Structure 1
């Protein structure tokens, strides 16, 4: 583990002994990845507009996520200010684990009841499967969120 006095806000790389700031590597690499995605979008002619404009818009929109993806892959957490040494052992991690386990139970119960009810509905009532799956995802988000807040309140 690195000495606390040499920790930086954005951290350093995991390779080459941590000599380079992680963002100094992530930003150019993320920009190149975004440019390649923009080139791909322009080549595939996604949309009805000018391919050059499509490529530029794609590239600009993908710079932040591509940069953060590279950053996540190369940063050494032990070189960041305020980073927990073992985040998987934190109290919040325990809250999330309990919330996710409870949410899985909620989803299985609701999906089972919904499947049973839908099996008795006549075929004339057409339900969009995509909409049903979106409902399951929303249920999962809400269930995990509520259970997490309950765990947080109890502690």
Structure 2
């Protein structure tokens, strides 16, 4: 734990002790603007590249600010943050839900491969839908398992 450091609601940077949001907001907006320029230069929208670049930058602004914040913030300086999050109850729920979801993924992939092996070659199976279906099943499995573990306490 950082006994000498003052904890603030948004924390400070790992190096220098600057306010983390004071670094994350301008850096994230600059990255979003740069990617907007790249999108406009590459013709994100053929009819109006400038509009496409602006929309691209606006859509990326918040996620990039959040990404920069996650990279630069020192967790030990955030008020109310757990000192050792890997030892929290929620971390245990996450680990158990992820392990169960992986088991579900292996079972689902095995069952799917077995079923596909017996489908005749002339039967139309759109393979573009198979992987998204597997990903959605994994999301659902993890989410349901996590919520059940959370409810159990």
Task: Name the SS for the 1:12 alignment partner.
Answer: coil
1:46 and 2:70 matched: no
Give 1:104's aligned residue. 102
Structure 1 runs (4+) deviating above 4 angstroms are none
Q: Which SS does the other structure have where 2:95 is aligned? A: helix
Structure 2 unaligned spans of 5+: none
Pairwise mapping of residues 40-79 of structure 1 onto structure 2 (< 5 A)? 40-79=38-77
Instruction: Output one character per residue of 1:62-113: Cα deviation in whole Å (capped at 9) or x when no partner.
Output: 1111111111110011111111101111011111111111111111112111
In 1, the alpha carbon distance for the partners of 2:4 and 2:58 equals 36
> Secondary structure of 2:52's partner?
helix
After TM superposition, the structure 1 stretch with the greater mean CA deviation from structure 2, 121-130 or 91-100, is 121-130
The CA RMSD measured in Å over matched residues stands at: 1.5
CA distance in 2, matches of 1:152, 1:42: 45
TM-score of the aligned structures, taking structure 1 as reference length: 0.92
Please state how far the C-alpha of 1:4 moved relative to its aligned partner: 8.9
Q: How many residues align?
A: 153
Residue 122 of structure 2 corresponds to residue 129 of structure 1 = no
